[in-house]
Structure formats: C-alpha cells, structure tokens
Amino acid sequence: MTPQQILESLKSRFGEAVLDAKVDAFPDPWIRVAPATLREICLYLRDDGEMLFDVLMCLSGMDYRGGKLGVVYHCDSTVNHHRIVLKTEVTDAEPRVASVESVWKTANWHEREAFDLYGIVFDGHPDLRRILMPDDWSGFPLRKDYQVPEFYNGMKVPY
C-alpha cells in the first residue's frame, strides 16, 4: 500500500483522530494522529489484513521546542513490505500519550526510555519507570531546556 492509501484507510476509519499528514515528504512520508487514540490506531495497523504492520521499528521521543513534545513511531510490515511513520504531539503541561505496549511488546522499553529522557507519560504502560538514568534522577535530560543539576546525591555532576 502506498502512504496515500494508508492515510485514506486511517481517515475513513478514525476520522478526526488523524490530524495531519505529508505523504509526499522526502525521505519518509508521515501521518500525525491524536495522542489519545494511538492505541486503537496501532491495533488496527497491526491486525488489519491489508496493513499488517507487525514490527514497530522505532519509537522516539521528541522535543520540538516551545513547550511541545512528541513521539514518532516507525512501523514496518514484514509481510506487505511497506512502512509508515506516525507522529503525535503533546504539550509540556499535559504530556500524556496512550501506550502501545499491548500492541507491540517492544514498545515497553522504548516508552520507558521516552519517559525517562523526555518526561512523556504513557497511559496504560504496565511498568513506567526510568530505564537509562538512575531511578532517583530528577529532570528529563533530552529536553532542549534541560539544565544539568549541580549535585546528585552529594556528588558534583558537571566536571
């Protein structure tokens, strides 16, 4: 299926959850969806006979500056040999996105990493805790406005 066809299919099924798209983007066409409906959309992408996106290649947290965070999903189908990119955007004040861990188990650790480094909270994730940083770290390091703390547990951080 071409990206245009995938977009049509999603629009016809989910209506206003599909916010924006750029199917002729170079190099990767993308579709932006609403954060709360992500789980249903991804379930449809995985299970529908024409889509069959059985592999979530990558899940990246993003910081678009100006208080806007986001998540980017790269999905791949080993059966139908097509790919698609899904994007969502949330604000700094309300960084909640539906978790797709129940759709693709690989999202478990990826979402933990996005939470750890960006502070994006994934609703429905069974075990959302920090993965790369120490468990008692404060702050979200990959955000653009992140300030490195002076001390961590009595140790000086910058050196």
- Binding status of residue 6 toward other proteins by CB under 8 A: no
Q: Verify binding: residue 19, other proteins, rule CB under 8 A.
A: no
Give the sign of the dihedral formed by CA 35, CA 96, CA 42, CA 117: positive
Pairwise CA distance, residues 5 & 136, whole Å: 46
Q: Is 44 an interacting residue with respect to other proteins (CB under 8 A)?
A: no
- Interface residue with other proteins among 47, 105, 139, 157 (CB under 8 A) is 105
Residue keyed to tokens 């954060």:
35
What are the contacts of 15-21 at 24+ separation with CB within 8 A? 17/41
Residue 89 CB-density burial (10 A; 0-12 exposed, 13-18 middle, 19+ buried): middle
# chain residues binding other proteins, by CB under 8 A: 31
CB of 55 to other proteins, least distance (A): 5
Interface stretch with other proteins, choices 13-21, 88-96, 104-112, 151-159 (CB under 8 A): 104-112
Minimum gap (Å) between residue 110 Cβ and other proteins: 8
CA 147 to chain centre: 24
Among the candidate windows 8-16, 36-44, 77-85, 89-97, which touches other proteins by CB under 8 A? 77-85
Kindly identify the residues of this chain, within the stretch 113-152, that bind other proteins according to CB under 8 A: 117, 130-134, 141-142, 144
Secondary structure string (H, E, C) spanning 78-130:
CCCCCEEEEEEEEECCCCEEECCCCCCCCHHHHHHHHHHHHCCEEECCCCCCC
List of residues contacting other proteins (CB under 8 A): 25-28, 54-58, 60, 62-63, 72, 74, 78, 81, 85, 104-106, 108-109, 117, 130-134, 141-142, 144
